[in-house]
Amino acid sequence: MSFDLNKFQEIKTPFYWYDVDLLEQTLKCVKENADKYGYNVHYAVKANGNLGILRKMKEFDFGTDCVSGNEIKQSIAAGIDPKKIAFAGVGKSDEEITIGLENGIFCFNCESIPELENINSIAGKLGKKADVALRLNPNVHVSTHHYITTGIEENKFGINEWDFEEVIAALQNMENVNLIGLHFHVGSQILDMQDFRNLCVRVNELQEWFYAHNIIVDHINVGGGLGISYTQPNEEPIPAFAEYFKVFAETLKLRPKQQLHFELGRSLVAQCGSLITKVLYVKRGVNTKFAIVDAGMTELIRPALYQAVHKIENISSNLPSERYDVVGPICESSDCFAKGIDMAGTKRGDLLAIRSAGAYGEAMASTYNLRTLVKGYFSK
């Protein structure tokens, strides 16, 4: 990760900064490791829908995984081939389904019978056929923050095992829907490879179940979720892609001609992005000093929403380190980026870099407190 302090003088803070060299190195590493096994990678646009990021995905020939009609439109605007766009989400509107059908996307990942019925009916009206995958809830527990698990029975996501028979019976009567795949996604920020191995074992079992019911699909989609190092972004700038894909190659049983798909979001873009913010005031607290900065939960909500930890550096200072709470200007007590961290001696006007913010940062920004929506800038 590199910072261009001269350029930063000309940009109004706070802003997102994307290191394009690191992004390219990361995407190259993903591509090489996925190509080894002939795997298909779809970038999960919700992690960061910035057009500059999407154009890079196109450059590396990735598809996308979209969770809204606007993400489909943005992918196409970036030049992504519609035949590489998967459309997921538990609540797709009629308008969004129409966008998907009219653009001839690769696949709708479906989560319920009423959704399948609706897609079947809209496709019929448009004189189209919809290719669909069933998003199955694999009921695999993973070690990550509770708010970002998605593949256990209590989550709203996916079709649960007790409904499988009913779903395949219902599909028999849907003329405008082709079942082409099975889809899974167990959560996010997963660092323990055993969690992915457990997912593979479940996929193998569930494939057997469908096979026994005379269903063989061409596509298996195992979602995303690979985590990154938030505590050591300098030491571990690129996630363990080689190890990750190897788990699937070793554990997942594909049938002849079956294609394997991945939907990686965070792991592709988190480390290349930093939120750059200016220190407005420093004031004394009980055991620490408060560094009050001009970015808040409106620019980066992860600490407030998921108790996420981001490394924070003062990129303007070489002074000996002191203890700080780094807090934002928003009128919420949860508007705090870090408590009791050691950081170089900080004064008004210094720039801080909040690291590993390329995923679920700019994408989750809001205008709460009527703030101006934050922008992203690229290093080249």
Ligand X SMILES: *Cc1c(COP(=O)(O)O)cnc(C)c1O
Binding site for ligand X (CB under 6 A): 44, 46-47, 65, 88, 185, 188, 223-226, 263-267, 359
Task: Supply the minimum distance, in Å, between the C-beta of residue 267 and ligand X.
Answer: 6
Q: Distance between CA 293 and CA 310 in Å, rounded? A: 15
Beta-strand ranges (E) seen in the chain are 15-18, 40-44, 63-66, 85-87, 107-110, 130-135, 177-183, 219-221, 259-264, 273-284, 289-293, 312-314, 321-327, 336-344, 351-354, 376-378
For ligand X, which is the closer residue by CB, 108 or 324? Answer: 108
Task: Supply the minimum distance, in Å, between the C-beta of residue 188 and ligand X.
Answer: 3
The full DSSP string for 39-77 is -EEEEEGGG---HHHHHHHHHTT-EEEESSHHHHHHHHH
Task: Supply the minimum distance, in Å, between the C-beta of residue 221 and ligand X.
Answer: 8
For ligand X, which is the closer residue by CB, 134 or 226? Answer: 226
Q: Distance between CA 216 and CA 249 in Å, rounded? A: 19
For ligand X, which is the closer residue by CB, 223 or 376? Answer: 223
| Beta pairing, strands 177-183 & 130-135 | parallel
Q: Distance between CA 159 and CA 184 in Å, rounded? A: 10
Task: Supply the minimum distance, in Å, between the C-beta of residue 222 and ligand X.
Answer: 9
Q: Which of 291, 273, 275 is nearest to 283 (CA)?
A: 291
DSSP state of 210: H
Q: Which amino acid is at 6?
A: N
For ligand X, which is the closer residue by CB, 343 or 359? Answer: 359
189, 276, 292, 330 from 334: Cα distances, Å: 22, 20, 14, 9
Task: Supply the minimum distance, in Å, between the C-beta of residue 316 and ligand X.
Answer: 31
Is residue 322 a contact partner of residue 360, using CB atoms and an 8 Å limit?
no
Q: Which amino acid is at 67?
A: V
Task: Supply the minimum distance, in Å, between the C-beta of residue 310 and ligand X.
Answer: 16
For ligand X, which is the closer residue by CB, 266 or 355? Answer: 266
Task: Supply the minimum distance, in Å, between the C-beta of residue 263 and ligand X.
Answer: 4
For ligand X, which is the closer residue by CB, 310 or 314? Answer: 310
For ligand X, which is the closer residue by CB, 69 or 223? Answer: 223
